[in-house]
Amino acid sequence: MDNSVLLSASHLKKKYRIDRKNSIFAVNDVSLDIFTGETLALVGESGCGKSTLSKILMQIIKPDEGTVSFEGKEISSLSERALRPYISRMQMVFQDPASSLDPRMKIRDIIAEPLKAFKIYGTQAEMNERILELTDMVELKEDCLNRYPHEFSGGQKQRIGIARAIAASPKLLVCDESVSALDVCVQAQILNLLKRLKNQLGLTCLFISHDLSVVSFIADRVCVMKNGAICELAPAEKIYSAPEHEYTKYLLASVYCP
């Protein structure tokens, strides 16, 4: 981990209306830095704003207030066109491997999607070579490429999702509950794969999970969110051995079984 900041969020706010009279802050004045090469975990109870925050960081939704900078450049005010080169360097692995893969597309085309969208490879031969390389990186066999998503297990589908996410050589990989839908054994395999790819490719990771035991395996630092705000952000070993905030202690007591 080096000390340069890859992504910086400053005073982000996002309010949602819940009925005619009331609204809630899904994200309420969040500022944080993600350092190049680190894995930052985002934890907190369901509904605390983790996905909303990650979508703002990825420019999928616009905040009501605040800014996001990536590689030192403020990107939150850029036009869609100006944003494209930055978007290719921040990619996402989703929670549900089944619904995040188009059932009508062959695996080859799913993995090729970002390569085509960001016009990364010129010739078909170069593209095919890259697809094979990605298939190998996520430990799938070459013969999977002409098959469809429904022919694969949950763990295999998530490997395909990871291959697609790393295809455009992103700097930042955002994993939103990426192993939550998998059973414990497959979870461990996918976590090991993510950890290996992170080191091999020099990725920076934002790893979102409600499961503190999963987070302890992968995180360098942990950011604890409650009601749209950060209540504690510290190195993982500090969070687990000497949590400061009452809410962090509560989360550890309720979820983490040493």
Nearer of residues 148 and 247 to Mg ion, judged by Cβ:
247
Nearer of residues 52 and 91 to ligand ATP, judged by Cβ:
52
Our finding on whether 51 is near Mg ion (CB under 5 A) is: yes
CB 59 → Mg ion: shortest distance, Å? 17
The piece of 39-47, 77-85, 136-144, 154-162 that touches ligand ATP (CB under 6 A) is 39-47
Q: Which residue has the tokens 């500090």?
A: 238
- Name the burial class of residue 207, with classes exposed (0-12), middle (13-18) and buried (19+) by CB atoms within 10 angstroms of its CB: buried
The piece of 49-57, 80-88, 111-119, 213-221 that touches Mg ion (CB under 5 A) is 49-57
The widest CA-to-CA distance across the chain, in whole angstroms, is 58
The piece of 47-55, 110-118, 140-148, 191-199 that touches ligand ATP (CB under 6 A) is 47-55
The piece of 50-58, 72-80, 194-202, 215-223 that touches ligand ATP (CB under 6 A) is 50-58
Task: Give the residue at shortest CB distance from Mg ion.
Answer: 51
Distance CA 44, CA 23 (A): 20
Our finding on whether 100 is near Mg ion (CB under 5 A) is: no
- Residue from 22, 46, 123, 241 touching ligand ATP (CB under 6 A): that is 46
8, two tokens: 């910086």
52, two tokens: 């909303």
Residue 208: name the closest of 194, 199, 200 by CA: 194
Residues β-bridged to residue 40 = 206, 221
Amino acid (1-letter code) at residue 197: L
Distance CA 13, CA 156 (A): 36
Our finding on whether 26 is near ligand ATP (CB under 6 A) is: yes
CB 50 → ligand ATP: shortest distance, Å? 4
Our finding on whether 178 is near Mg ion (CB under 5 A) is: no
Q: How far separated are the first and last CA of the chain, in Å rounded?
A: 27
Q: Is 155 within 8 Å of 121 (Cβ atoms)?
A: no
Our finding on whether 52 is near ligand ATP (CB under 6 A) is: yes
Our finding on whether 76 is near ligand ATP (CB under 6 A) is: no
36, two tokens: 């190049």
- Residue from 37, 49, 97, 149 touching ligand ATP (CB under 6 A): that is 49
Distances (CA, A) of 163 to 132, 138, 213: 10, 6, 25
Nearer of residues 48 and 93 to ligand ATP, judged by Cβ:
48
Residues that bind ligand ATP (CB under 6 A): 16, 24, 26, 44, 46-52, 210
Interface residues toward Mg ion, by CB under 5 A? 51
